[in-house]
Amino acid sequence: MALHILDEANRCLECKNPSCQKGCPISTPIPQVIRLLKENKLDEAGRMLFENNPLTTICSLVCNHETQCEGNCVLGKKGSPVHFSAIENYISDAYAPKMVKGPAESNGHRVAIVGSGPAGLTIAIILARYGYQVTIFESKDKIGGVLRYGIPEFRLPKSVLDDLRYRHLDLKGIKIRPNIRVGDAISIDDLFRDGYKAIFIGTGVWRPNALHIKGETLGNVHFAINYLNNPSVYNLGEKVTIIGAGNAAMDVARTAVRNGCRRVTCFSIESKVAASHYEFSYAQLDGVHFEYNLKPIEILDDGVMFRQVQEKEDGTYEEIAGSDTFYPSDSVIIAISQGPRNVIVSSTKGLVLSKQGLLAADQFGNTSRPGIFASGDVVNGARTVVEAVAHSKVVAETMHRYIQGLSENNVSEETYEKTDITDH
């Protein structure tokens, strides 16, 4: 493994204006990290990675590298790019056990983190470095959010998340309250009452989007985010239909194959898949089948009725009359993205939703209520892990400045009506 990693590192041209770094949403200093590795300074390289990205080990495994760092490597224009994902994973995995430093000296201020997905973890770790007394409120029994309950084990081993909790949370004195949903027994106002100076909301998007077609409530129908939460409790049968062809659909399909389903087919309304090339390729290797230009019309107990569609010049799709075809299957999984559950918003005065139904926040994480901040999928919709981490680094600094009295987050409701909060 080490020899392979060094061979890959030695291919790096150490460009003066590294396109790979520009292509990374969190601007990982890739040439510097590779240079340190080649100089046998692995600890320095690891420290640089974790200081820039607290979730660097996770990102090395789940990032869409083909369109980010590796997709922008100049060597990839005529051949194979430097596979920084493998280098980053090797360095971060080797350096992580050396991260044994205890909590920073307390600055006397409490901060509440609602949700322990990529955004919440990033905020918690950064603010703990500043000495804040951080408490994470998590509705599930373990930390990780979509990292644990939405990404399959074969892509992101749970042991990585367990180690992250130990290194970054337990050792740093961050407290965790599992199995509690803020907005039910505990409210946002209760947190302010108990002395929390700032509250971060990073509850993700856990409400599945529905097709709203006949048959969607039948017993053989499931939603992707629910299935990925705990695949072992589902009995899908041998033949599975997956409606959708994005990255989540690829995760569902490959998980179903690993759980004994013999024929798994993804159906796309488009003439291609929406998933990345890498994820699509892996799904094909796993034996997943694909059908295109088909729109689901009705779900039945033994399959789905689809209708052929064709793309028009304006990018919309028109149905082809008389083209209805029945595709039999034992189970159907709907994988067409998710939206937020608005428990917190409905129970908290002063919070505003965007036109997309997401929690409204500006580019710095300020919500419509002073002292409450937000980022991640609950603000931007379903995005990549590294995008959530990159934006949350900005929000963490905003929160720090707010608590220290260096800035205020009084943003009017009118601001959100004029701002597209999904364009960060």
Q: What is the pLDDT of residues 145-167, one digit of tens each?
A: 999 999 999 999 999 999 999 99
Q: What is the mean pLDDT of residues 83-112?
A: 95
pLDDT at position 308: 97
Q: How far apart are CA 142 and CA 150, in angstroms?
A: 13
**CB 134, CB 128: distance < 8 Å:** yes
Q: Is the pLDDT of residue 389 over 50?
A: yes
Largest Cα separation within the chain, whole Å, is: 71
pLDDT at position 2: 56
Q: Is the pLDDT of residue 415 over 60?
A: no
Grouping H, G, I as helix, E, B as strand and the rest as coil, residue 359 is strand
For the stretch 249-260, pLDDT in tens is 999 999 999 999
Q: Is the pLDDT of residue 371 over 90?
A: yes
Q: How far apart are CA 232 and CA 230, in angstroms?
A: 6
Confidence of residue 408 (pLDDT cuts 50, 70, 90): low
Q: What is the mean pLDDT of residues 303-320?
A: 93
Q: How far apart are CA 101 and CA 381, in angstroms?
A: 35
Q: What is the mean pLDDT of residues 394-412?
A: 80
If one compares 417 and 163, the residue with the highest pLDDT of the two is: 163
Distances, alpha carbon 397 to alpha carbons 44, 51, 63, 400, in Å: 24, 14, 24, 5
Q: Give buried/exposed letters for 78-91 (b at 16+ CB in 10 A, else e).
A: eeebbbbbbbbbbb
Q: What is the mean pLDDT of residues 194-211?
A: 92
Report percent pLDDT > 90 for the chain.
81
Name all domains of the chain by residue range, CATH numbers in brackets: 2-98 (1.10.1060.10), 110-206+340-418 (3.50.50.60), 208-337 (3.50.50.60)
Q: Is the pLDDT of residue 355 over 90?
A: no
Q: How far apart are CA 81 and CA 71, in angstroms?
A: 7
**CB 121, CB 55: distance < 8 Å:** yes
Report percent pLDDT > 70 for the chain.
94
For the stretch 284-301, pLDDT in tens is 999 999 999 999 999 999
Tokens of 123: 């905020």
The alpha carbon of 121 is separated from its chain's Cα centroid by a whole number of angstroms, namely: 12
For the stretch 98-136, pLDDT in tens is 999 899 999 999 999 999 999 999 999 999 999 999 999
Looking at 81-203, list the stretches that DSSP marks H as alpha helix, in order from N- to C-terminal side: 84-95, 118-129, 146-149, 158-164, 188-193
Task: Report the relative pairing of strands 303-311 and 317-319 from DSSP bridges.
Answer: antiparallel
Q: Is the pLDDT of residue 411 over 70?
A: no
Confidence of residue 422 (pLDDT cuts 50, 70, 90): very low
Mean pLDDT, the chain, rounded, equals 91
The amino acid at residue 11 is: R
* Lowest mean pLDDT, pick from 321-325, 340-344, 379-383, 410-414: 410-414
**Side-chain-side CA neighbours of residue 93 (13 Å):** 16
Our CA angle for 361, 203, 120, nearest 5°, is 85
pLDDT at position 313: 85
Our CA angle for 412, 417, 423, nearest 5°, is 105
